[in-house]
């Protein structure tokens, strides 16, 4: 009897484990469902990207003589959920089992587990082999460890895969070249143009659908030029390797006003949806290094983001869920300010990062960690609120990758499971790594007063506010010794400035 193979919207890979043993008579089910489109109010570009990529992948499957039952969002009989569409398909056909590759999100896995009891046929869940490390592999690495630090997992992944290895030693004699990747962008540097793809008939139809069904969602729908096919995604990867990677390492932590991409790869959305495989992305970067086309600091920094961070956060997510999502170690409880949606703030760095996000459903990792994330940390924004914002606004956001990066790395809500200390920073860091401060109405060199950069006094307010939770952290020792030397007058000024800022933060009349 035939098999029904369910392919999710972030599983757009021909090598998917649920497809590898496809046989004549099997059917592939793909469906756009409102339950997924609305579990958070996704950025319009994110929705358009996923729907268009799904529809193009359907075409690739059918061109490979694999029949697909494809349910569009606006199909009259669309039930609106994976469960409803699966039940409908099983009711119409004669299948002896359902096969699916493990999903990326815990809530979807719970749904799949419920099918085991509710459906009349077996549901086979297969490992997602597109990752370097299986979930069991990560769990074995984590077993018995008091600290789960990415750096040590990354080294094991290097050894296992052979990427950037010289025998049993790391290429270049060290594992991590991060200290060489923190240069500010020079004023006279020429930034590369980026590939854009004109919408074809499929994408044009999807844009109309998103505009009609999700008119009030966050973000700019057009112009739309994202890669929605594997061929286009490969073009973007090749362009990055040839044009951007040589200088990526030097400036990967830099920020520049009005510049969304700098030398970053922009392949994360395509990779997380399955149009690119992590292995081929790492191989392309290493090949460039071996050919002398890109320096080691750039290639190591890029591969670390994928072989290190991407694998690590996925493993941590599945190891710690579902309890992980509810952690709030710093007891943060402020609502998300409106400017995260409008971009209307006089803080130039935040306005730029949010404008970039609104336009492109993208911002690079330092904008996310040290601007929008850093502000949420210092201000004590409730974890659920900032986590949902990141899920909404970025085209590459799925909970397995978003939650640990935000919850653990950006806002320290997990209390140190992921990061050894909070990634808190004052305006000095932003001034060091960007040109935002020069055009900001606030003065980054001023520590207190209404003219001061809010990041300056919010940083120290954060340190004082969380002393009972953070003072014992060895990596915070120098900060708290500095605080001990701070005068009572300065402490009062910090507290007063912070209180005044928070009073105005949610005022409709005042832009902060």
Residues 278 and 352 in one domain: no
Range of the domain at 252: 135-197+228-320
State the pLDDT at residue 509. 41
> Can you tell me the distance from the alpha carbon of 372 to that of 349, in angstroms, rounded to the nearest whole number?
9
Q: Judge whether 369 lies within some domain.
A: yes
The mean pLDDT value for 463-477 works out to 96
State the pLDDT at residue 8. 98
Q: Judge whether 76 lies within some domain.
A: yes
The mean pLDDT value for 149-158 works out to 96
Question: How much is the mean pLDDT over the chain?
Answer: 96
pLDDT at 512 over 80: no
Q: Judge whether 264 lies within some domain.
A: yes
Domain count, the chain: 3
Residues 11 and 154 in one domain: no
pLDDT at 480 over 50: yes
State the pLDDT at residue 506. 84
Q: Is 9 helix (H, G, I), strand (E, B) or coil?
A: coil
- Beta 169-170 vs 165-166: how paired, if at all? antiparallel
Q: What is the pLDDT of residues 484-498, one digit of tens each?
A: 999 999 999 999 999
The mean pLDDT value for 507-511 works out to 53
**pLDDT band of 181, cuts 50, 70, 90:** confident
State the pLDDT at residue 507. 74
Residues 355 and 496 in one domain: yes
pLDDT at 511 over 80: no
Residue with tokens 């404008």: 355
Q: Judge whether 407 lies within some domain.
A: yes
Q: Which residues contact 346 (CB under 8 A, 6 or more apart)?
A: 440, 441, 442, 511, 512
Q: Judge whether 163 lies within some domain.
A: yes
Q: Judge whether 510 lies within some domain.
A: no
The mean pLDDT value for 432-439 works out to 96
Domain stops at, among 126, 153, 170: 126
The mean pLDDT value for 426-431 works out to 97
b/e per residue, 409-421, with b = 16+ CB within 10 A?
bbbbbbbbbbbee
Q: What is the pTM of this model?
A: 0.95
Residues 98 and 178 in one domain: no
What's the burial of 401, exposed, middle or buried (CB within 10 Å: 0-12/13-18/19+)? buried
Q: Judge whether 409 lies within some domain.
A: yes
Residue 29: φ, ψ to 5°: -105, 125
Domain stops at, among 80, 106, 126: 126
Residues 88 and 139 in one domain: no
Residues 122 and 156 in one domain: no
String of DSSP letters for 78-121: --SSHHHHHHHHHHHS--SEEEEEPPSSHHHHHHHHHHHHHSSS
Domain stops at, among 73, 103, 126: 126
Q: What is the CATH number of the domain that holds 241?
A: 1.25.40.80
**101 beta partners:** 126
Residue with tokens 């703030």: 345
Q: What is the pLDDT of residues 350-361, one digit of tens each?
A: 999 999 999 999
The mean pLDDT value for 436-446 works out to 96
Q: What is the pLDDT of residues 208-262, one digit of tens each?
A: 999 999 999 999 999 999 999 999 999 999 999 999 999 999 999 999 999 999 9
Q: Is 186 helix (H, G, I), strand (E, B) or coil?
A: coil
pLDDT at 510 over 80: no
Question: What percent of the chain is modeled with pLDDT above 90?
Answer: 95
State the pLDDT at residue 139. 97
Question: CA 329, 335, 341, 345 torsion: positive or negative?
Answer: negative
């Amino acid at each position: 009897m035939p098999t029904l193979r369910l392919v999710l919207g972030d599983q757009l890979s021909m090598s998917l484990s649920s497809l590898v043993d496809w046989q004549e008579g099997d059917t592939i089910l793909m469906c756009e469902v409102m339950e997924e489109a609305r579990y958070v109010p996704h950025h319009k570009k994110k929705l358009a990207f996923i729907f268009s990529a799904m529809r193009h992948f359907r075409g690739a499957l059918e061109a490979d003589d694999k029949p697909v039952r494809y349910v569009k969002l606006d199909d009259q009989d669309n039930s609106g959920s994976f469960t409803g569409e699966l039940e409908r398909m099983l009711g119409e056909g004669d299948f002896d089992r359902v096969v699916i590759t493990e999903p990326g999100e815990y809530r979807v896995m719970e749904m799949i587990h419920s099918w085991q009891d509710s459906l009349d046929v077996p549901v086979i869940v297969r490992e997602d082999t597109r990752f370097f490390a299986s979930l069991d592999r990560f769990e074995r690495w984590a077993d018995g460890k008091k600290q789960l630090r990415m750096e040590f997992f990354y080294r094991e992944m290097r050894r296992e895969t052979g990427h950037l290895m010289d025998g049993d030693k790391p290429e270049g004699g060290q594992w991590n070249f991060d200290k060489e990747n923190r240069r500010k962008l020079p004023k006279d540097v020429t930034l590369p143009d980026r590939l854009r793809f004109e919408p074809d008939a499929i994408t044009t139809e999807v844009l109309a659908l998103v505009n009609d069904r999700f008119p009030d969602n966050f973000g700019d729908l057009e112009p739309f030029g994202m890669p929605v096919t594997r061929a286009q995604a490969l073009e973007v990867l090749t362009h990055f390797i040839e044009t951007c990677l040589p200088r990526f390492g030097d400036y990967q932590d830099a920020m520049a006003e009005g510049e969304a991409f700098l030398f970053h790869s922009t392949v994360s959305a395509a990779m997380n949806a399955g149009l690119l495989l992590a292995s081929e992305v790492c191989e392309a970067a290493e090949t460039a290094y071996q050919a002398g086309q890109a320096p080691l600091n750039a290639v190591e920094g890029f591969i670390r983001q994928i072989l290190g961070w991407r694998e690590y956060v996925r493993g941590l997510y599945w190891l710690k869920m579902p309890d992980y999502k509810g952690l709030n170690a710093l007891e943060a409880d402020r609502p998300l300010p409106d400017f995260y949606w409008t971009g209307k703030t006089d803080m130039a760095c935040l306005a730029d990062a949010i404008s970039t996000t609104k336009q492109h459903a993208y911002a690079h990792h330092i904008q996310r960690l040290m601007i929008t994330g850093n502000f949420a940390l210092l201000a004590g924004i409730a974890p659920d609120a900032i986590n949902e914002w990141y899920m909404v606004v970025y085209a590459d956001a799925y909970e397995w990758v978003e939650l640990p990066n935000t919850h653990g790395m950006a806002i320290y809500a997990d209390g140190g499971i992921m990061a050894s200390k909070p990634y808190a920073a004052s305006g000095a860091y932003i001034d060091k790594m960007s040109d935002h401060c020069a055009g900001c109405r606030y003065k980054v060199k001023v520590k207190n007063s209404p003219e001061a950069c809010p990041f300056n006094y919010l940083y120290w307010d954060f340190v004082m506010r969380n002393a009972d939770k953070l003072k014992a952290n060895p990596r915070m020792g120098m900060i708290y010794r500095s605080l001990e030397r701070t005068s009572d007058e300065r402490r009062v000024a910090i507290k007063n400035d912070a209180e005044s800022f928070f009073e105005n933060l949610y005022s409709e009349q005042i832009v902060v």
